[in-house]
Structure 1
Amino acid sequence: MTLEHDVDHATPAAAGHEWWRSAVIYQIYPRSFADSNGDGIGDLPGITSRLDSLAELGIDAMWLSPFMTSPQKDAGYDVADYCDVDPLFGTLEDFDDMLRAAHERGIRVIVDLVPNHSSDQHLWFQQALASAPGSRERARYIFRDGRGENGELPPNNWQSIFGGPAWTRVTDPDGVPGQWYLHLFDSSQPDFDWDNEEVKEEFRRILRFWLDRGVDGFRVDVAHGLVKDSQLPDYTPSPEAASMGGEETPAPYFEQAGVHEIYRDWHRILSEYDGDRALCGEAWVSSVEKMALWVRPDEMHQTFNFDYLMASWDEAELRDIIDRSLAAFSGVGAPSTWVLSNHDVVRHATRLSLTGENPQGTGIGPDFPGIPQYEDGVRRARAATTLMLALPGSSYLYQGEELGLDEVHDLPGEARQDPTWFRTQGERYGRDGCRVPLPWEDSAPAFGFSHTGESWLPQPKRWAPLARSVQAQQPASTLNLYRRLLQLRREADLGSGTLEWAPEFGSGVLAFRNSGVLVVANISGADVTLPDGHEVLATSTPIENRTVPRDVTVWLKEITHQ
């Protein structure tokens, strides 16, 4: 294979042309990507072995979900050591090998950082449990006395994102019930106290550890949640709220003003390094206008556009969020980002065609109403992706979406592993359905994910024809659609372009021009006849007689006569 180029860390780009402004970034969920040792869990050498496939796809960067030392109570989002690799995934040497191999292929590497909370197995938390109330060790986390006559009630009524109380009471070394500690997620994930200077200094050290190894940036988990209202007031979220935030009136544990100074501090650290290192925040906030506050020039470089992620397949809704995103982010000199799937939401090959309510984080199961036929769901998903990849800014892809993978809604209960499933006693299915290991070869054990046939979540038999080995040979496959779109996107520099709406196509149709490409997305309108004088560059689904039916997006280029 011919390598395209090495990643150049020595030469920063001119202001306004940094790589992260227009990059297509591919999210890898390590335990589900590729397993090199046959234990049924993906690992870093597995990722290295499949990098040529990502280079052929045409991505600019990859983001790795957590691979650091962890007891894996929440698939690695419970970190016990921030500066080492969990043996489940390999070693620091394996990480260095993977990073070097990715850079040789022109692929930048972003690592997941989890600063809101640690594992309860982290040395600091074990020290806190062994120390007295008011001690330096406990001050690194949020410990409080309980309410009630004997402290038997939690400090407030906050509920965990995963269900159940957000407080757990500890037992002191003498066997007497003691203080309570806060955990916005599982009880094995105690929240740090970000008012504590020792916590701030520790994360400066962690950032430099990975930057010194050559990583290109960090995706920051729960970036809107680090700072809590110091009064810890009671709070009950509205029933319609997404589990991770986004309410009009922010929860007292989300969107607090103090987070911005943390990211200004981190921005200064990244600016010490060559090569335009980047911070991308997972910030579930109430609007894109507020989201833009996270990416002011001295803070983060990107934040995920969750309004776009959660939008339905509706022309007016999409037009509105695209307009507001471009205005809000450009207003602070940052790129808009676009994303349709990730490791926390139902895959968009299913989600965009669901008819039942699907709150973020809840998941879907075998009894969920209105699950679409696969062909209908993937047709709409391909149209949505073809629309998204034409937008100016940076786009995120989630592993397997380039294969058109659907949500595995029919996992048996005994196979599920998401803490949400257990903390709600099966009331919420959780996120396992989007985390099922990838199919690489249709006839291999575990579809090529693992040579032994082991797989930490069962893969559905219906995925055999979706395996990469099959799709690579099919010109009209979803895989080859993604390859074509990413090639065209790069050639036309769509990520750095400017969007101009083309209203002449009527209601139910989103159409715009960007860098000489005309994009026509028929979402719900009547059949659209393409204009003369235009060459078809790509179609989400093959069309006949230059007619675009519903759930199809087309890219065109005007034919110029010499």
Structure 2
Amino acid sequence: MPLSRTDDSRTGWLQNAAVYQIYPRSFADGNGDGIGDLAGVRSRLPYLADLGIDAVWFSPWYTSPMADGGYDVADYRDIDPVFGTLAEAEKLIEEAHALGLRIIIDLVPNHCSSRHPWFAQALAAGPGSPERARFHFRRGRGRRGELPPTDWPSHFGGPAWSRVADGEWYLHLFAPEQPDFNWDHPEVRAEFEDVLRFWLDRGIDGFRIDVADHLAKYPGLPEVSHYPARNGDDVPWADQDGVHDIYRAWRGIADSYEGERVFVGEIWLGDTERFCAYLRPDELHTAFNFPFLGAAWDADALRTVIDRTFADHAPVGAIPTWVLSNHDVIRHVTRYGRADTRHSWAPVTEGVPVDLALGTRRARAAALLTLALPGCTYLYQGEELGLAEVEDIPADLLQDPRWPRSGFTDRGRDGCRVPLPWAGERAPFGFSPVGATVPPWLPQPVAWAGFTAQAQQGDPGSVLELYRAALALRRSELSPSGDEFCWLSAPVGMLAFTRGPGFTCLVNLGAGPVALPDHAEVLLVSGALTDTGRLPADTAAWLRTT
């Protein structure tokens, strides 16, 4: 069935945008210390503009002790010195805008760093103090309070509570260095509204909201066994009704600024109705499409999640999003090269068999599928180079807190965060300036010599040139079609759809080659057609049909 939107006034620039995620530590190192920074990003802005994206999303660049890669924020109004300065960030925003690129930054409102001034004040003030009321401090269980207040688990492993010197415990749904804010406190709400204005005043075009469904907790922080759950996935620390008042207030702030300033939510929810509530016209503009990211490489599975995405978003007039990888998940080249192609939160371990040639073919086809769908698409840095997960990082170099918190059983997310290869035959592959003596903060594989942007430049068979061609065609051929979309009849194992008159996308997820339908021109293919002009397995094609 054709897709239609209920409220065209909400689409704006994000409707068909391609947004490129930068993980600052790993994008480009401008000063030679082995860590990516804003100077490195500024030097590569022309590359991003030439790639054909519309906006850049930055993972946290704030002042941070880096206990969790910057998601432990000590100062929301400044740039960490390892990345540069606030003045440099302002210059970057200006330069990006001059190139036609918008800037989205990560906002981390659920928790801060244990070195945030407010938390330091809370520790110094003691039990029952106003300073502690900004967080979740509680007495412990047991005769002497020696047990955590609840059995809530941390997402990084172990308990979600840590004890301080005076005997109280504080809540941290992630690492102990990341205490959760108490969003029932008016000072917390006022603080973040001011933080929004601080960055909006500097020209930021939007915010990606980290764990957007976690801010409000169920009153009293009950044990899970005592919590009146609404469904089997419901927990007292996520998706509480009170979170929507927060986002309505934020939306009012964003809408008061000129231009369309947007919010993108990181929301992992299985309940469709509750997920859609975040996308109502007076709340968030979009949310990440994690069911699509996690779907198996299977025609039925992908069609089901695409249909569900349209069905979920249509009632509230929201923009669908499409994403294959990010800084938290195994790169999809690797995932698609395994027997089980679904995303999983199971502990990341070594030794799972992978066929990277197969994974790359599928990833190329998945890129054309994703970029052909109506809505906003997100690219994770390095996917345009065809990078796979780095799964052999020495244990003593792993930095993700999931590694120690899991008792050294989950290798965590470092494998998708390895610094990018830009040029040259050996590490640091142009990530750091010529002559730099400090190695990149995570080691780059020797094999990446063939994956650098320089090596792929101008090679029509490279992943980089495939992305450039697809993004250019997306803008010229697909953007004018808006949200038009219609499935076509197709053989088993095939996906076929149109985006308005004259454009057809085909994706062959079956076992053998298939004939192309009648067409006027092959616009782009993810891999070579057979000698007889058929579309091979694990290959996608864009056709002009009129």
Do they superpose with TM above 0.5? Answer: yes
Letter in 1 for 2:263: L
Name 1:520's counterpart in structure 2: 506
SS at match of 1:112: strand
Aligned position for 1:9? none
Task: Find the residue that maps to 2:510 and give its secondary structure.
Answer: coil
- Which residue in 2 is equivalent to 1:383? 365
Deviant stretches of 4+, over 6 Å? none
2:21 is the counterpart of 1:27: yes
- Counting only pairs closer than 5 Å after superposition, residues 345-356 of structure 1 correspond to structure 2 as 345-355=329-339
Whole-Å separation in 2 of the counterparts to 1:289 and 1:386: 29
Displacement of 1:533 in angstroms is 3.3
**Is the aligned partner of 1:531 residue 2:517?**
yes
1:51 aligns with 2:45: yes
What one-letter code is carried by the residue in structure 1 that aligns with 2:460? Answer: P
Residues 19, 379 of structure 2: 8 Å contact kept:
yes
Report the alpha carbon displacement of residue 234 of structure 1 after superposing the two structures with TM.
Answer: 2.2
Identify which of 176, 193, 198 aligns with 2:187: 198
Query: In structure 2, how many angstroms separate the alpha carbons of the residues matched to 1:361 and 1:35?
Result: 30
Contact 2:418 2:443 in 1 (8 A): yes
State how far apart, in whole Å, the 2-side matches of 1:556 and 1:524 are: 19
Conserved 8 A contact 1:522-1:549: yes
Deviation for aligned residue 1:497: 2.8
Deviation at 1:361, TM superposition (A): 4.6
| Pick aligned residue for 2:176 from 187, 192, 197 | 187
| 1:459 corresponds to 2:444 | yes
Indicate which of 497, 507, 530 corresponds to 2:492. 507
Distance 1:409 1:166 in 2: 28
Structure-1-length-normalised TM-score = 0.92
CA deviations 1:253-287 (Å, max 9, x no partner) are 11111111110010000011011000000011114
Displacement after TM superposition at 1:364 (Å)? 3.3
Equivalent residue letter for 2:418:
V
Kindly provide the CA deviation profile for residues 174-231 of structure 1, in whole angstroms up to 9, marking residues without a partner as x. xxxx210000000000000001111000000100000000000100000011111113
Q: How does 1:390-539 map to 2 (within 5 A)?
A: 390-443=372-425, 445-451=427-433, 452=436, 454-494=439-479, 496-503=482-489, 505-515=490-500, 516-539=502-525
- 1:359 and 1:402 mapped to 2: Cα distance? 20
Q: Which amino acid aligns with 1:370?
A: P
**Alpha-carbon spacing, 1:123–1:191, altered in 2? closer, same or farther (3 Å):** same
* Alpha-carbon offset, residue 443 of structure 1: 2.9
CA distance in 2, matches of 1:299, 1:74: 28
Task: Give the C-alpha shift of residue 292 in structure 1.
Answer: 1.9
1:142: Cα distance to partner? Answer: 0.5
User: Who is 1:272 aligned against?
Assistant: 256
Within 2, Cα distance between the matches of 1:209 and 1:106? 22
Tell whether the 8 Å contact from 2:426 to 2:446 is kept in structure 1 after alignment.
no
Contact 2:294 2:343 in 1 (8 A): no
2:354 corresponds to which letter in structure 1? I
Asked if the contact 1:63–1:219 (Cα under 8 Å) also holds between the matched residues in 2, the reply is yes
Contact 1:361–1:431 (8 Å) recurs in 2: no
1:371 counterpart = 2:339:
no
Task: Give secondary structure in 1 for the equivalent of 2:421.
Answer: coil
The answer for the alignment partner of 2:233 in structure 1 is: 249
Q: What is the letter of the counterpart of residue 225 of structure 1? A: H
Q: 2:3 maps to what in 1?
A: none
SS of equivalent residue, structure 1 residue 201: helix
Q: Separation in 1 of the partners of 2:198 and 2:483?
A: 35
Q: CA deviation at 1:525?
A: 4.7
Give the superposition deviation at 1:318. Answer: 0.7
Conserved? CA contact 1:27–1:342, under 8 Å: yes
CA–CA distance in 1 between the matches of 2:470 and 2:393? 32
Cα distance in 1, alignment partners of residues 540 and 342 from structure 2: 25
Q: Deviations for 1:430-473, whole angstroms, at most 9, x for unmatched residues?
A: 00000000000033650000121520000001111010001013
Task: Give 1:75's aligned residue.
Answer: 69
Provide Cα deviations, 1:17-60, integer angstroms capped at 9, x if missing partner.
40012110000000000000000000011100000000000000
Report the 3-state secondary structure (helix = DSSP H, G, I; strand = E; otherwise coil) of the residue aligned with 1:528: coil
Residue in structure 2 matched with residue 296 of structure 1 by the alignment? 280
Shift of 1:360: 4.1
Whether 2:196 is the aligned partner of 1:210: answer no
Aligned-residue offset at 1:232: 1.9
Answer with 507-516 or 101-110: which moved more.
Answer: 507-516
User: Following the alignment from structure 2 to structure 1, what is the Cα–Cα distance between the partners of residues 208 and 30?
Assistant: 25
Paired residues for 1:115-154 under 5 Å: 115-154=109-148
Q: Which amino acid aligns with 1:530?
A: L
Instruction: Name the amino acid aligned to 1:553.
Output: A
8 A contact 1:362–1:431 mirrored in 2: no
Q: Measure how far apart 1:393 and its partner are.
A: 0.4
Compare 84-93 and 512-521 and name the one that shifted more.
512-521
* Offset of residue 549 of structure 1: 1.5
| CA–CA separation in structure 2 for the residues paired with 1:357 and 1:230 | 39
CA pair 471-248 structure 1, distance change in 2 beyond 3 A: farther
- The residue number in structure 2 matching 1:243 is none
Please say which of residues 255-264 and 58-67 is displaced more in the overlay. 255-264
Q: Does the C-alpha gap of structure 1 residues 490 and 358 become closer, same or farther in structure 2, counting only changes over 3 Å? A: closer
Alpha-carbon distance in structure 2 between the residues aligned to 1:71 and 1:500: 49
Whichever residue aligns with residue 533 of structure 1, its letter is: H
User: What is the deviation of 1:247?
Assistant: 8.2
Q: For each residue in 1:223-252, what CA deviation from the matched residue of structure 2 results, as whole angstroms up to 9, or x when unmatched?
A: 01111111322238xxxxxxxxx9852221
1:549 matches 2:532: no
CA distance in 1, matches of 2:142, 2:340: 42
Which stretch of the first structure deviates more once superposed, 325-334 or 159-168? 325-334
**Alpha-carbon spacing, 1:357–1:402, altered in 2? closer, same or farther (3 Å):** closer
Displacement of 1:379 in angstroms is: 0.7
> Structure 2: how far apart are the matches of 1:354 and 1:443?
28
Using the alignment, how far apart are the partners of 1:536 and 1:289 within structure 2? 40
In structure 1, distance between residues paired with 2:538 and 2:256 = 46
Amino acid at match of 1:371: V
Equivalent position of 1:328 in the other structure: 312
Structure 1 contact 308–321 (Cα < 8 Å) conserved: yes
Deviation at 1:357, TM superposition (A): 8.5
Q: Which residue of 1 aligns with 2:265?
A: 281
Q: Deviations over 1:107-135 (max 9, x none)?
A: 00000000000000000000000112221
Partners of 2:305 and 2:72 in 1: how far apart?
A: 33
| 1:364 partner amino acid | V
Q: Can you give the 5+ residue segments of structure 2 that lack an aligned partner in the other structure?
A: 1-6
1:105 corresponds in structure 2 to 99
Superposed CA offset, 1:37-94 (max 9, x none): 0000000111000000000000000000001000000010000000000000000011
Identity over the aligned pairs, expressed in percent?
51
CA distance in 2, matches of 1:343, 1:538: 28
**Structure 1 residue 358 displacement after superposition:** 7.3
Deviations 1:334-373 (A, max 9, x none): 1100000000000001112222597645563432x2222x
Would the aligned equivalents of 2:335 and 2:343 in 1 still touch at CA under 8 Å? no
Contact residue 362 and residue 430 of structure 1 kept, 8 A: no
Q: Are the aligned partners of 2:372 and 2:478 in contact in 1 as well (CA < 8 Å)?
A: no
- Give the distance between the partners of 1:482 and 1:317, measured in 2 at CA: 24
